[in-house]
Structure 1
Amino acid sequence: MDTLINSLTDIVGKTGVLLGDDVAQRSVDWFTKASCQAKAIIRPQSTEQLSQVMTLCYEANQPVVTHGGLTGVVHGAVASPDELVVSLELMNQIEHIDAVGSTMQVQAGVTLQHVQEAAQEIDMQFALDLGARGSCTIGGNIATNAGGIRVIRYGMMRQQVLGLEVVLSDGTVVSSMNTMLKNNAGYDLKQMFMGSEGTLGIVTRAVLRLHPNMPSEQTAFVAVPSFDALTSLLKMASKELANSLSAFEALWNNHYALMTSATTKHTALLANNSLFYAIIETLGSDDEKDAEAFASVLEKALEAELITDAVLASSSSQREGIWAVREDIETLVHALDPMFSYDISLPITHMDEYVTALESKLKAQWPETCELVVFGHLGDGNLHIIVTVRDASQDARRQVEELVYGSLVKYNGSISAEHGVGLEKRDYLTLSRSPEEIALMKRLKQAMDPKGLLNPGKILA
């Protein structure tokens, strides 16, 4: 491999190759903080360099793992000592912005926050938003088909991408940098790579779709007495605020009580005696009219006893305080060590039944040590399940996984809503995909990456 690394150094330069401690100090998983074990990290500065890198790796039968912002939580960036990492961190430029056509052309290593800020500068917005915005990269967002808090209005990352450029395992560059909303000229090839977690090709550049900037934001934190009231509130908000509803996040009592306990940095927004809480947010263009409509919906919800109390943000700092309770994952990590985290989706109507049954199964297995925390994007059917049983063993983790994922089968739910599959969920893929679907995935993998060099072992065994 040393000969190959020397050849790759000739392509990307000495500063484009990291070895030894520079590799080991990289964390490849946000939750576990596990260090990178790869032989080397190769950092190309252009699509052309990456193409040359992959050509040599293909000729040498060298497996490659792609790295973006390293904010993933399903072990998708894990690399073994006999593998190389290709990091897109130096390909981090915004190349072009078309304010008329509402597009932005970027390199894969640019961070989500940088894209958001660049859009704001021309009075537009990039609709994807998630807590890791400052670190996660556009390439990673595409590779995992990221979701976030505004899916209910704008859709997943898949809906934000018009064109892609990708390097295949043999170094072939497939450039389909489409800038048009409508383009039905044959297969939409970019769709193959979105959500493929780097197993079919390495995304190098993208054309992103922009939306008009919505200067008016209305945010409320509400207490909800029951799950039926929660779903009725979602239905009401979706109808009454149809043109502006951008987020509807749900917090079970166990999540809110933990986040606002005496041991955390968050002040309680409301009393912690409700079964559920919700964050409702709208984006609009007329602050006065939007505020009036928003307040009217909250009043109707109070009258209908769908909510029992509410806090309405009157400033950006108050809005940030509301969202901090929802987005502060570090507090959960410290409070629930060892923390087993799951990202699942299922029909909204079955969520309460699923969570109640899951909690009963967990308590039966670990009556004294189990703790369950639930929150998520209720509006798009995505829940985040956090479990600790005060046992960090692999056996305990496996037992919890089987309960969390196995309980989804009767509801036709998914083991992965927005985080991907990686290594962590690979063994459970059969719970969410049919044998025919998995067989087709394997055929596609074989056709696109015949030597199995790209992110080997991820998604498919």
Structure 2
Amino acid sequence: MQQLLDEIAEIVGPENLLTGEAVRQRSVDWFTSAPCEAAAIVRPGNTEQLSRVMALCHAARQPVVTHGGLTGVVHGAVAAPSELAISLERMSAIEAIDPVGGTLTVQAGAPLQRVQEAAAEIGMQFPLDLGARGSCTIGGNIATNAGGIRVIRYGMMRQQVLGLGLEAVLADGRVLSSMNHMLKNNAGFDLKQLFIGSEGTLGIVTRAVLRLQPALASEQCALVAVPSFAALTSLLNLAPLRIGLSAFEALWNSHYRLMTEESGAHTPPLATDSPFYAILESQGMDAEHDAEQFQALLEEAFEAELITDAVLASSEAQRQAIWAIREDIEVLVRTLNPMFSFDVSLPIPAMEAYVEALEQRLAEAWPGVARLVTFGHLGDGNLHLMITVRDGGAESRRAVEQLVYAPLAEIGGSISAEHGIGLEKRDYLSLSRSETEIATMRLLKQALDPHGLLNPGKVLG
């Protein structure tokens, strides 16, 4: 391998080939802070350098693992001592912004927050938003088809990539580039879809043309207490009819109470005795009119007994305080340690029974010890489940996974709503995908990466 590393160093520069302790100092897992075990970390500065590196790796049959912001939670960035990590941290430039066409051209290593800020500077917005916005990268968002809090209005990351606007380096070093700036392009296959959500197993995304949206001048946000799950879903159905709903986040009592009263991390804006809570957010163009509509929605929801209490954010600081209750994952990690994290999707009508049954099964398996904390995007069918049985061992993990995943197959759910498969969920893929679907995935993998060099072992094994 040393000869290969020497050749790579000539391409990217010796300072951009990390080895030894410089590699071990980097974590590949947000929850556990597990150190990187790769033989080296390669930091190309542009697509041409990455292309040359991958051509060398292909000739040497050298496996590689792509690193973005390293905020994933399914062990997708884990690299073995025999593998190289490819970090896109130097490829972080915003190359162009077109306010007329509403596009932004960006390199894959750019953090999501930087893209959001660049869009805001020209009076537009990039609507994808998630808690890890300051660290996660556009390439990682594309590779995992990230979701976040505004999927209900703007869709997943897949909807944010314009036309055919993507560039990727293939396993053999060839560059597949379709960096056009058109919304409509039906000239043949939409090849970008092969790479969005493929978790770096089919190619390494290097650049993209993103679709921007108009910046909306007003934003309304409220936290409400909800008396039942039926009321929660009724509120979800009512809200889009009354306001320009951009986010609808549901918090079970287990989550709200832990994040506020129990941990002391956040002051509870509302009493902690309601079974459910929801964060509603709307966006619009007329602040006064939008505020009136939002207030009217809350009043109507009160009269219909869909909510029992509410607090309306009157400043950006109050809005951030509300969202911190939802997004401060570090409190969950610290309080529930050791914690098992799950990201599932399922039909909304099945959610209440699914969560209640899971809580009961956990209590039966680990009486007096197991704990389930539930929250999620709800409107897009996505729940996040944080579970502790006070034993972080592999055997307990597998037992909990069986309880979480097995019922999903029966109700048409998915083992992964937005976090991907990685290594963590690979063995359960057949619960959400048919034999024919998995066989087709393998066919694509064989066609684009016949030697299995890209992110080996992830997704399909």
The 5-angstrom pairing of residues 203-222 of structure 1 reads: 203-222=205-224
Correspondence for 2:94:
94
Larger mean CA deviation between 404-413 and 93-102 belongs to 404-413
The 5-angstrom pairing of residues 204-243 of structure 1 reads: 204-241=206-243
In the alignment of these two chains, the number of paired residues is 459
Which of 190, 193, 207 lines up with 1:191 in the alignment?
A: 193
- Quote how far apart the aligned CAs of 1:262 are: 4.5
- Quote how far apart the aligned CAs of 1:16 are: 1.2
Q: Write the deviation string for residues 199-248 of structure 1: whole angstroms up to 9, x where unpaired.
A: 0000000000000001200000000000000000000002222xx11000
The 5-angstrom pairing of residues 174-189 of structure 1 reads: 174-189=176-191
Structure 1 counterpart of 2:324, one-letter code: A
Q: State how far apart, in whole Å, the 2-side matches of 1:28 and 1:370 are.
A: 27
Correspondence for 2:359:
359
Contact 2:261/2:272 (<8 A) preserved: no
2:343 aligned counterpart, secondary structure: strand
The 5-angstrom pairing of residues 64-103 of structure 1 reads: 64-103=64-103
Q: Write the deviation string for residues 356-389 of structure 1: whole angstroms up to 9, x where unpaired.
A: 1111110010111001000000110000001000
Q: State how far apart, in whole Å, the 2-side matches of 1:116 and 1:186 are.
A: 31
Correspondence for 1:4:
4
Contact 1:370/1:389 (<8 A) preserved: yes
Structure 1 counterpart of 2:231, one-letter code: A
Structure 2 counterpart of 1:137, one-letter code: T
- Quote how far apart the aligned CAs of 1:393 are: 1.0
Structure 1 counterpart of 2:166, one-letter code: L
Correspondence for 2:173:
171
Q: Write the deviation string for residues 179-206 of structure 1: whole angstroms up to 9, x where unpaired.
A: 1111111100000000000000000000
- Quote how far apart the aligned CAs of 1:410 are: 1.4
Correspondence for 2:348:
348
Q: State how far apart, in whole Å, the 2-side matches of 1:263 and 1:236 are.
A: 33
Contact 1:343/1:418 (<8 A) preserved: yes
Correspondence for 2:389:
389
Structure 2 counterpart of 1:268, one-letter code: P
1:281 aligned counterpart, secondary structure: strand
The 5-angstrom pairing of residues 57-136 of structure 1 reads: 57-136=57-136
The 5-angstrom pairing of residues 363-378 of structure 1 reads: 363-378=363-378
The 5-angstrom pairing of residues 272-291 of structure 1 reads: 272-291=272-291
Correspondence for 1:417:
417
- Quote how far apart the aligned CAs of 1:439 are: 0.3
Q: Write the deviation string for residues 285-323 of structure 1: whole angstroms up to 9, x where unpaired.
A: 110000000000000000000000000000000000000
Q: State how far apart, in whole Å, the 2-side matches of 1:290 and 1:447 are.
A: 51
2:241 aligned counterpart, secondary structure: helix
Correspondence for 1:331:
331
1:277 aligned counterpart, secondary structure: strand
Structure 1 counterpart of 2:224, one-letter code: V
Correspondence for 1:313:
313
Correspondence for 1:145:
145
Structure 1 counterpart of 2:212, one-letter code: L
Contact 1:264/1:331 (<8 A) preserved: no
- 1:250/1:125 CA distance change after superposition, 3 Å: same
Contact 2:263/2:331 (<8 A) preserved: no
Q: State how far apart, in whole Å, the 1-side matches of 2:193 and 2:169 are.
A: 15
Q: State how far apart, in whole Å, the 1-side matches of 2:112 and 2:19 are.
A: 27
1:379 aligned counterpart, secondary structure: coil
Correspondence for 1:26:
26
Q: State how far apart, in whole Å, the 1-side matches of 2:261 and 2:420 are.
A: 31
Contact 2:231/2:307 (<8 A) preserved: yes
- Quote how far apart the aligned CAs of 1:264 are: 2.7
Q: State how far apart, in whole Å, the 2-side matches of 1:237 and 1:285 are.
A: 17
Structure 2 counterpart of 1:49, one-letter code: Q
Structure 1 counterpart of 2:247, one-letter code: A
Structure 2 counterpart of 1:436, one-letter code: T
Correspondence for 1:407:
407
User: Normalising by the residue count of structure 1, what TM-score does the alignment of the two structures yield?
Assistant: 0.99
1:86 aligned counterpart, secondary structure: strand
Q: State how far apart, in whole Å, the 1-side matches of 2:364 and 2:409 are.
A: 20
Structure 1 counterpart of 2:423, one-letter code: L
2:399 aligned counterpart, secondary structure: helix
The 5-angstrom pairing of residues 441-456 of structure 1 reads: 441-456=441-456
- Quote how far apart the aligned CAs of 1:263 are: 3.0
2:105 aligned counterpart, secondary structure: strand
Indicate yes or no: 2:55 matched with 1:55. Answer: yes
Larger mean CA deviation between 405-414 and 333-342 belongs to 405-414
Correspondence for 1:430:
430
Q: State how far apart, in whole Å, the 1-side matches of 2:72 and 2:104 are.
A: 24
Runs of 5+ unmatched residues, structure 1:
none
Correspondence for 1:299:
299
User: Normalising by the residue count of structure 2, what TM-score does the alignment of the two structures yield?
Assistant: 0.99
Structure 2 counterpart of 1:386, one-letter code: M
Structure 2 counterpart of 1:360, one-letter code: Q
Structure 2 counterpart of 1:291, one-letter code: A
Q: Report the aligned-residue RMSD.
A: 0.6
